Amino acid sequence: MDEAGVMRRAEERMKKIIETLKKDFAGVRAGRASPALLEKVMVDYYGIPTPLNQVATIGVAPPRTLVVQPWDKKMLGAIEKAILKADLGAPPVSDGNVVRVTIPAPSGERRQEIVKQLRKMAETQRVAVRNIRREINDEIKKSEKDGEISEDESKRAQDKVQKLTDKYIELIDEMLEAKEKEVMEV
């Protein structure tokens, strides 16, 4: 068993989990305008579903307005339709040149719902990190059982995996805390 390789593989998988959580959190509407809110919006571009950011520039006009400027003015209607279909809770408004989406500030009750949703997302990713820990530990234990490594090496490797797991769980907790704070800001 190549301990360094196993650790590297575990860390790469855990990093992917963090990236997934960042994307998930970016897509959560917190009352602020963020181009990430429109990341998953698909526009009908001459019959082909295309990501919005490939047919338009998405900018932010403070405090809570997204400005979508299509590269082809003929796309305005399709962009408006796609944003409406995305059900952001904010209707798109076109002035003939750009589409504006003003993000309403969520109510206190809605903020609590969003925080619950964020906690659920974070817990799902914590479980994923722990599953990686379990898989890697099983691999280490199998190597010990097969006589590839000693009991001490196995224990040491499992301790390293635990430290790595703790590091990524802590990172998830920090990301959750920051996003919760952003959501609860009035």
Segments making up each domain of the chain, as ranges: 3-27+107-184, 35-102
**pLDDT value at position 109?**
85
pTM of the model: 0.69
pLDDT at 30: 66
> How far is 2 from 72, CA to CA, in rounded Å?
54
Question: Is the CATH number of domain 35-102 3.40.50.1970?
Answer: no
- Please tell me the predicted confidence (pLDDT) of residue 8: 93
| Per-residue CA distances from 31 to 15, 99, 116, 157, 168 (Å) | 28, 18, 16, 44, 28
DSSP 8-state secondary structure symbol assigned to residue 91: -
Planar angle of CA 45, 46, 47, nearest 5 degrees: 90
Whether residue 63 has a cis bond before it, omega within 30° of 0: yes
pLDDT at residue 29 in the model: 67
Q: Do domains 3-27+107-184 and 35-102 have the same CATH topology?
A: no
- Tens-of-pLDDT digits for all 186 residues of the chain? 788 888 999 999 999 999 999 988 877 766 677 787 787 889 988 888 989 888 899 888 877 888 999 998 888 889 999 988 887 778 888 888 899 988 877 788 888 888 999 999 999 999 999 999 999 999 999 999 999 999 999 999 999 999 999 999 999 999 999 999 888 875
Helices (H), the chain: 3-26, 76-85, 108-145, 151-184
CA distance 60 to 34: 7
pLDDT of 155: 94
CA distance 71 to 76: 9
Tokens of 26: 């970016």
Q: Which CATH number fits domain 3-27+107-184: 1.10.1040.10, 3.40.30.10, 3.40.50.1980, 1.10.132.20?
A: 1.10.132.20
Partner residues linked to 92 by β-bridges:
101
